[in-house]
Amino acid sequence: MSDRSDSPHLYGTAPEAESKQGKAGHTLAPDQQAPTEHSYAHPVALADGKVVTVEETSGVAFAESDRPVGRAVPQADDRPEKGSAPVAIPAAHPTPNPGPGPGPVADESSSTTRQVVIGAALGVGVGLLANLLRKAAVQAPTALAGRWDKALAAEHRAALAIFDLIEQTDENDVARRTLLLTQLKHAIGKHAFQEENSIYAMMRDLQMTEAADHLNHEHGYVKQYFFDLGEMPRDDPAWLPKLRAFRSMIETHMREEEEDLFPRMREKLTGEQNRHLTRLMHREGLKLA
């Protein structure tokens, strides 16, 4: 695969009528309005009629309900209407009258403190376990695919499936494009992290340094494509062609790995070394799962 560092496929490299930098320094006439700031949050209608707001992040989609959350305890300014019954506000834990010397008050306080500490520790433990289980579930499809090269090929197919879904959208599907692009970024980001921290590192130890550096260099342009697609408005007519150019580049990268470099690398390793590399790869994948 040829070096793409000089190829004019990046957003903003071709001559445009007005560049981003030109817009920044352009003085608007009095009768002109400033361009609308690109929003990174988009409403998405769910099947049950609810609407959530999806915000783009570095690989994770956060959804917050648009329904206002009621306060559990009335505040000071929540005064009841005239003629209505007063609202009972729960009081804090009653403080018993202090007795002479150490007695039940001290014991109760100590017991309550121990319960809080134990409860907090259990809560942390349950949270860590839940996070580990979630990570294991995310990494499971890769792990079930088998040896490291087969697992990475399975992740390639999963990423291409997300490309398929995005290419089925049109300029009216702004929120769906945003959500799918976020999913794609997370999937490919985890995949690249695994390769760079285990596969390409092992490749260099096998005297395949030029190939490893070439693949790692192309990962830089994967990040560039994600940056450019994130900066472009989702309803821009040029957005989908940009995505297709990205797919073309990454498919060539995948074929080179699957059909040439990974088979050569696998043959250089013993059975135990291949199993060891598989474990290393999954360890790296769990970090970002």
Q: What is the pLDDT of residue 58?
A: 39
pTM exceeds cut of 0.75? no
Average pLDDT of the chain to the nearest whole number: 74
**Looking at residue 76, what DSSP letter applies?**
T
Query: pLDDT tens digits, residue range 219-239?
Result: 999 999 999 999 999 999 999
Other beta carbons within 10 angstroms of residue 226's beta carbon come to 19
Residue closest to 173 by CA, chosen among 226, 235, 233? 235
3-state helix, strand, coil in the chain (%, to 5): 60, 5, 35
Task: List, in sequence order, every beta strand (DSSP E) within the chain.
Answer: 41-45, 51-55, 62-65
Q: What is the pLDDT of residue 9?
A: 36
Domain assignment present for residue 188? The answer is yes
Domain assignment present for residue 260? The answer is yes
Asked whether the beta carbons of 155 and 187 are under 8 A apart, the reply is: yes
Amino acid letter at 77? Answer: D
Our count of domains for the chain comes to 1
Secondary structure (3-state) at 280: helix
Dmax over CA atoms of the chain, in Å, equals 87
Query: pLDDT tens digits, residue range 49-60?
Result: 777 665 544 333
Is the C-alpha dihedral spanning 173, 176, 181, 184 positive or negative? Answer: negative
Q: What is the pLDDT of residue 176?
A: 97
Q: What is the pLDDT of residue 280?
A: 95
Domain assignment present for residue 97? The answer is no
Domain assignment present for residue 53? The answer is no
Residue 112 in this model has a pLDDT that exceeds 60: no
**Looking at residue 258, what DSSP letter applies?**
I
Task: Print the domain residue range for 227.
Answer: 134-288
CA-to-CA distance for 87 and 73, rounded, in angstroms? 10
CA-to-CA distance for 138 and 151, rounded, in angstroms? 13
What are the backbone angles phi and psi of residue 51, rounded to the nearest 5°?
-120, 130
pLDDT tier at 34, thresholds 50, 70, 90:
very low
Domain assignment present for residue 118? The answer is no
Domain assignment present for residue 231? The answer is yes
CA-to-CA distance for 247 and 244, rounded, in angstroms? 5
Amino acid letter at 262? Answer: F
Domain assignment present for residue 112? The answer is no
Residue 147 in this model has a pLDDT that exceeds 80: yes
Domain assignment present for residue 212? The answer is yes
* Whole-Å CA distances, 149 to 105, 249, 266, 267, 281: 65, 20, 8, 11, 10
Q: Comparing 15-19, 121-125, 132-136, 263-267, which segment has the lowest mean pLDDT?
A: 15-19
Q: What angle do CA 109, 114, 116 make, to 5 degrees?
A: 95
